[in-house]
Amino acid sequence: MATTTPVTVVDYGIGNLYSVQRALESCGAEVHLATDAAGVRAAHHLVLPGVGAFADGMAGLRERGLAEAVREHAGSGRPLLGICLGMQMLATQSEEFGTHAGLDIIAGRVVPIPRTSTSGQPQKVPYIGWTPIDIAPRAAQAAAAAAAGQGEGEGEGGSLAAHKPGDAVYLVHSFHFLPDDPAHLLATYDLGGHRVTAAVRRGNVTGFQFHPEKSGRVGLDILRAFVAHG
């Protein structure tokens, strides 16, 4: 009988946990919901989902005593995946509706996506749609070096290692994550000539701005890679 991978999803009162749970289960995960620090600390694979405003998300984590437990998990070397708002909260701070402190797991800031194209044309915000994403050059180089046994692969593709050019994912957002270290930029997409962050990665910690649970076969393949390898 095939074994399943235990994956814990953080429940802090924000986000559609059901769709994330179902997607993970279809990828071979045995899903547990964590509503307290003990549940987070017991996790091996941890997923931090979320939709909505950054400040509300951080308040939900703090009020339930979850923020420090998530930081501890990140520092333990065990896999951590942030999705949408969950990815943004990995940052040092956000500029959404004021300045708000994040988990500071991956140094950087969350800023508005550009409202005009590089040619000055207005762009609709929030951005909503299916979009091909591209592995960032440094991440691609690190992945190649790791595959050749020439480095530790700090910026390697991880769950996106097998991502094919042209594969599209589903995005809905008004802000994006700019990591301080360009090596932590995992994937981007083109928006009016701007490169907008689609994914970040630092060691065992990965963040997706897109929703893999809503991205069809491509999204399930990405989640399957996370469940299998982190």
Residue pLDDT, tens place only, 31-54: 999 999 999 999 999 999 999 999
Burial code (b: 16+ CB inside 10 Å, e: under 16) for 108-141 equals bbbbebbeeeeeeeeeeeebeeebebbbbebbbe
Residue 150 pLDDT > 50: no
Q: What pTM, to 2 d.p., does this model score?
A: 0.91
| Cross-strand bridge partners of residue 171 | 129
The catalytic residue among 45, 96, 100, 213 is 213
Closest CA to 27 of 167, 166, 230, 209: 230
The CATH fold assigned to 5-229 is Rossmann fold (3.40.50)
Q: What tokens were used for 12?
A: 């802090």
pLDDT tens-place string over residues 161-208: 878 888 999 999 999 999 999 999 999 999 999 999 999 999 999 999
Give yes or no for residue 143 having a pLDDT over 90. no
pLDDT at 193: 96
Q: Name the active-site residue from 84, 100, 156, 176.
A: 84
Question: For this structure, is 44 an active site residue?
Answer: no
Q: Is 211 a catalytic residue?
A: yes
The reply to whether 27 belongs to the active site is: no
**Average pLDDT across the chain, whole number:** 90
| pLDDT score of 103 more than 50 | yes
Confidence at residue 140, expressed as pLDDT on a 0 to 100 scale: 57
Residue extents of the structural domains in the chain:
5-229
* Predicted confidence (pLDDT) at residue 148 exceeds the cutoff of 60: no
Residue 86's pLDDT band, with cuts at 50, 70 and 90, is very high
pLDDT value at residue 59: 96
Q: Rounded to an integer, what is the distance from CA 181 to the centroid of its chain?
A: 16
pLDDT of residue 217: 95
